[in-house]
Amino acid sequence: MLKDKVALVTGASRGIGAEVAKTLAGHGAFVYVNYNGSKSRADEVVDEIVKAGGAAEAIQCDVADFDSCKEMIDKIIADKGRLDILVNNAGITRDDLLMKMSEEAFDAVISTNLKGCFNTIRHASRYLLKQRSGKIINMSSVSGVMGNAGQANYSAAKAGVVGLTKSVAKELSSRGINCNAIAPGFIETEMTAAMTDKAKEATIAMIPLGRTGKVSDIAGAVLFLASDMSDYITGQVLSVDGGMCI
């Protein structure tokens, strides 16, 4: 399905990003597995892809850093001559109640989760425009759609991702570039592992499908938006949340 396509997945050393990388590679794409600090885990993801018969390479970059993102995109173009799929998945949480949230916690989450998407899109877009093709998929969140107590920074960043997605779609769609967002609900990863059982039960009670999400639930949605099956879809936010946002 993605034969000869080149993909970059940010934050792919674990969790949702790792599963997205494996899924895209499993469908034929060459996948750049981006990480910031977790080199050995990114290498493990690459090993797994290669053992399964796919092709991938780990690539370090802090997505919050504008110039580093330029270096990462330039290296991909220098090596492969193209970039077809950009999945902006890297994300962090620094949860706190608004009254206690530090300026640093607010800025850190905005820098990684929102500006990180801008940085990669900004640098990739000049190549995508020349190619006259490309699929950009940004990871938003149910928190960006509904808000969430204790996540003012995270919800603001994820709502910002929705606005960014729609603006990019309006600017680039006439040149054959699709830009969409996915808004996951509660997905079982290390990011959500710290939640207490009580908080998890309360969250599951809000999910019509009655269960938490798996990383494969999100990877399937990314695969759809990365493939030509979604060529007529742009500027949309696809909720993958078991119905939480209904």
**Residues labelled catalytic:** 154
DSSP state of 111: I
| R_g (Cα) of the chain, nearest Å | 17
Least separation in angstroms between residue 75's CB and ligand NAP is: 15
Q: Report the site for ligand NAP in 191-220 (rule: CB under 6 A).
A: 191-192
Regarding 146 and contact with ligand NAP (CB under 6 A), the answer is no
Least separation in angstroms between residue 7's CB and ligand NAP is: 15
Regarding 184 and contact with ligand NAP (CB under 6 A), the answer is yes
Site pattern 29..68 for ligand NAP (x: CB under 6 A): -----xxxxx-----------------------xxx----
| Residue 215 phi, psi (nearest 5) | -60, -30
Cα→Cα distances 231→30, 57, 218, Å: 20, 27, 19
Q: Report the site for ligand NAP in 62-91 (rule: CB under 6 A).
A: 62-64, 89-91
Sign of the dihedral defined by the CA atoms of residues 110, 114, 118, 121, in that order: positive
What residues contact 193, with CB distance under 8 A and at least 6 apart?
none
Binding site for ligand NAP (CB under 6 A): 10-17, 34-38, 62-64, 89-92, 112-113, 139, 141, 184, 186-187, 189-192
